[in-house]
Structure 1
Amino acid sequence: MSAVPTQLQLFAAVAAAYADAAGGRLDNEGLYIAAGDRAGVPEGERRGRRPVGTSAQPRNLFHRAVRWHQQTLKHMGVLRRVPGERGVWELADRTGSGLHRALPGVRLVAFSTTLGVAIWGDCIDTFERLDSPITLCITSPPYCLSVPRSYGNPKEADYTDFIVASLKPIVRHLVPGGSICLNLGQDIFLPNSPARSMVNERVLLALHDRLGLKLLDRLVWHNGSKPPAPTHWASVKRVQLNATYEFIYWLSPSPELVHADNRRVLQPHTKKHRRLIDAGGERRDAVYGDGAYHVRPGSFSNPTTGKIPRNVLQYGGRCADTLRYRRDAAALRLPAHGATMPLSVPDFLIRFLSEPGDIIADPFGGTVKTGIAAERLGRRWMVTEHMLDFLRPAAERFRDFDGFSMPDDVEVWPCKAA
C-alpha cells in the first residue's frame, strides 16, 4: 500500500479495525494504531500536527480523517458509542448471528441502476416517504417460525401487526388496480402439537379489515425440491405429511381494476393439445358433472398462442441466480441469505401483474430477487432490506445493468486488511 492512502483505503482500514477487534469494540487510541497499521500510514504522519484554519491551530490530520470515517460508519448504522466510556465505539446493533441491521432512522442507498434502487433501512419509514405510485408489491417477509433464522422474525403474537404495519405505506401508494403478492411460510405449528397455526389466516383477515385488501387468489408455489418437513411431525412422529408448497396470497384494494393479463404469461401447448387442434378439436359430445361441463364436437379446435397457466407455480428452490448470489457472498466473506426464492417466481408475477415502466416494490428485499426480475423485464423497482450483509453481495449481480452505482462507503464494506 502506498505511503499516502486514499480515502477509500483509509475508510476500509477504519472499518476493518472494528471488524477484527475483540467484541467489535475499540477506544480511539487503539483505533488510530490499528487503522494506521492497516493503511500503511508512516509513524510521523500519524503523530504530526499541522496548522489548520484561519487560527492556524496545530491539528493531527490523520486523527481527524480517522474520526471522519468513524462518523460515516456511525451514520451507516455500523458503529455506536459505548455508553459511559469516553472515546470508545463498537459495532452497532448486530443480530445474534452478527448481521448488521439498520438502526431506526437510517436510510442508505446500497446501490442503484437507471431503473431501480435498493435501500438499506426500515421499510415503513422508507415507503412512507415515497411519492411515486406502485403497481405491484412482491414480498416474502420473515416467516413466523418458532426457531428464527439468522435475521430473526417476530413472534406469532406480534406477527399480524408486523405484516399490516409493513404493508400499510405500500398499500397507500398503490395505483388503482395495483396488487400485493405476499409469500408466507406454511410450516408454523401450535406449541407441542402437529396442528398448524392459523396465523396466516389471521394476517389475511387483518389485511382485509384494516387495509381494505381483497383476496384475488391463493397461488400455490409448489417446490418439489423442498427439504422434508415438518421434520418432527413427519419424520419422527409420523403423523404429518411432508410439505412441498407455500401460498402466495394475491391481494388488491380494487380487484375490478386489477392490472392482470394472463396473455402475458401464456405457456406452450402440450404436444397432445396441439394434435387435438390439428385434428379439428373434440369429436365427443358428452356431459360431465351432472351438466356442469359439456364437451361438444369441435371444441378446442381454434388455434391459440398458448395455454392459460394454472394457479399452481411449479418452481424448484434452486436457480442460477441464487447460486451466483452465494458465490458473490462467499467472495466478499459475508453470510449468504438462508431463505431465497427462485427468480422464476417474481419473474412470473411481474409479467402477469404489471407492464414495462411500472414500479415494483419489495419491503423485505433479501437478495433482491424482485429487483433483478424487474430490471430484466424493464420495470422500475424499489426494495428495502434491514441487513446490509445481504444487500452488499446482491449488488454484484446488478453491475452490468445500465446506470449501476454504489456509494463508496458500501463498495468497500465489509473491509478486511490487505
Structure 2
Amino acid sequence: MMNSAQLSLFEPVLNAYKEAGELTNEQLYGRLSEKLGLPKEVWAARQPVGRSGELHNLQRRSVRWVQQTLKAMGLLERSDARAVWRTTPKAKGLTPAPPRTFLVAFSTDLGIALWGRCQDVFQRIDEPLHLVLTSPPYPLQRPRAYGNPPVQEYVDFICNAMEPLVRHLVPGGSVCLNLGNDVFEPGTPARSLYSEMVVVAMHTRLGLALMDRLVWQNFSKAPGPTMWASRTRQQLNVAWEPVFWFTNDPKACRSDNRRVLQPHTERHTKLMARGGERRNATFGDGANRIREGSFGEMTPGRIPRNVIAVGHRCRSQDEMRALARAEGLPVHSASMPLKLARFLVEFLSEPNDLVVDNFAGWFTTAAACEETGRRWIGSELMAEHARGGSLRSQFRQASGFQCSI
C-alpha cells in the first residue's frame, strides 16, 4: 500500500514520463524538483532505515516504489538503455488509480472527492449513508475511454461495488442506478437482459427492494441503435434510459415528493381558483370518479411523474467541457446532466444527509449536493476526470474548497 508521500508522487511521476516519453532516474528527479518545487538537496539526503540502520534517500525510494507500481499497472516499462524507463501505449490514455490506494483529489466543507477504485475507497468508510446516486459504466461492446466490464461480468461488478455502500445505508435510505438501455445480444437486434439481472441481484444478493423504474427521457440522445434502427430498420430510435431506485426499507423510505413539486399548469391553477370541478362524472366502470368541487383545494405544486424529461446537454456540462479543454484534459464522454442529479438528490434525501457517488466522473452528483446543502463523498477511478470535476464552479466557489490533484 502506498504511504502519503508515495501517493502524492504518483501523478507527477506518471505525467513526467507522459511528457518526455522516457527518462533516466536523474532526469526524472530533476523534473520532479521543478514541478513540485523541491530543492535538489532532498535527492541527496540519506537517513538510516530499518534495523540495520543502512543509509538511504527516502525521496528516491518513494519514486522507485511509484515506478514499480506503474510497471505493475502496465503504464511503465524499462527501456533498452540501462536505468531508463518509458511509458507504454496504455499510459497515453486516462490514468487509473493504483489498486488498494486512494488520494483526496479535492474537498469542500460539505464533501470529499477521492481518486481511487470504489471498492478500495468504500471498504474503509463506515459513515451512515442516506443516498447512493450513480451512473456506473455501461457494458458496451465498444468501451469508452474509461473502460467497462463485459456484460457477462456486469452483475458481479455492480454487486461488488454496491455491497460496502448498502451495508452502511440508513433505514429507508435509497440507491439509484442509471443504467444504459442500448446493450444488445451479440449480432442481433434483441436487447440484453443485463439490467433486469442487475435488478434481481440487487434484491436477492443485497436485500434491496425495488421502489421504481424511473424513466430518464432524453430526446437529445443521438439517433440509434444505428445498426438496428437505421440499417436493418428493425428497431426504433431510443430516447430514454432507466434509473432503478431501490431502498432497504420501503415503509421507512426517506423520499418525499413535496421537495420536488412542480408548478401547476395555467389551466389547473384556474380550476383551483374557481373552486374546482363543477360536474360529477364516472370513468372506467367506476374506477375513477370526479365529483363537484374536486381539485378545488389550492396546493403548492403538482407531483412530478416518474418520467423525467431532461436532455443530456445542459449549461453546466457545456461549461465543464470548455473548462476541461482549456486545461488540456479529456472530455468525459458520458456525464449525467446536473438537472437530473439535482432532482433525484432533492427527492431522495434531506438537507445535511450524506450522498455517495462511487462512479463520480465529473462529480455531477456532488455538484448537485453542493447546490442543495447535502454532504457528499465521491470516488473516481481516472485522475483526469477527478481533476476535471475539481474545476466546477459549485466546488471552486464553495466554502473550504481545497484541491490536491
Q: Normalized against structure 1, the TM-score is what?
A: 0.84
CA–CA separation in structure 2 for the residues paired with 1:388 and 1:75: 19
**Counterpart contact for 1:14–1:69, Cα < 8 Å:** no
Could you tell me the percent identity over the aligned residues?
Answer: 46
Matched position secondary structure for 1:218: strand
Residue in structure 2 matched with residue 21 of structure 1 by the alignment: 20
CA–CA separation in structure 1 for the residues paired with 2:184 and 2:290: 44
Deviating above 4 A after TM superposition, structure 1's stretches of 4 or more consecutive aligned residues are 10-16, 32-41, 49-54, 71-81, 83-86, 90-95
Residue in structure 2 matched with residue 403 of structure 1 by the alignment: 400
Residue in structure 1 matched with residue 235 of structure 2 by the alignment: 240
CA–CA separation in structure 1 for the residues paired with 2:401 and 2:69: 20
**Counterpart contact for 2:210–2:246, Cα < 8 Å:** yes
Inter-CA distance 360–240: structure 2 relative to 1 (3 Å threshold): same
Residue in structure 2 matched with residue 392 of structure 1 by the alignment: 387
Residue in structure 2 matched with residue 212 of structure 1 by the alignment: 207
Inter-CA distance 29–137: structure 2 relative to 1 (3 Å threshold): same
Residue pairs, 1:253-402, within 5 angstroms:
253-397=248-392, 398-402=395-399
**Counterpart contact for 1:137–1:179, Cα < 8 Å:** yes
Residue pairs, 1:96-135, within 5 angstroms:
98-135=93-130
Q: Which runs of 5+ in 1 are unaligned?
A: 1-9, 55-63, 411-418
Deviation digits for residues 120-157 of structure 1, max 9, x if unmatched? 11111211211210000000000011111111111011
The residue type paired with residue 228 of structure 1 is P
Residue pairs, 1:61-140, within 5 angstroms:
67=60, 70=63, 82=77, 87-91=83-87, 94=90, 98-140=93-135
Post-superposition shift, 1:396?
A: 1.3
CA–CA separation in structure 1 for the residues paired with 2:158 and 2:140: 14
**Counterpart contact for 1:189–1:195, Cα < 8 Å:** yes
The residue type paired with residue 336 of structure 2 is M
Post-superposition shift, 1:289?
A: 1.0
The residue type paired with residue 63 of structure 2 is Q
Q: What is the number of equivalent residue pairs in this alignment? A: 385
CA–CA separation in structure 2 for the residues paired with 1:305 and 1:51: 69
The question of 1:202 aligning with 2:197 is answered yes
Inter-CA distance 93–182: structure 2 relative to 1 (3 Å threshold): farther
Matched position secondary structure for 1:118: strand
Matched position secondary structure for 2:263: coil
Deviation digits for residues 18-66 of structure 1, max 9, x if unmatched? 12233xx43314435766898999xxx979x988679xxxxxxxxx698
Residue in structure 2 matched with residue 225 of structure 1 by the alignment: 220
**Counterpart contact for 2:78–2:86, Cα < 8 Å:** no
Q: Normalized against structure 2, the TM-score is what?
A: 0.86
CA–CA separation in structure 1 for the residues paired with 2:62 and 2:323: 26
The residue type paired with residue 17 of structure 1 is A
The residue type paired with residue 286 of structure 1 is A
CA RMSD of aligned residues (A): 3.2
Residue in structure 1 matched with residue 178 of structure 2 by the alignment: 183
The residue type paired with residue 20 of structure 1 is E
- Of residues 65-74 and 351-360 in structure 1, the stretch that sits farther from structure 2 once superposed is 65-74
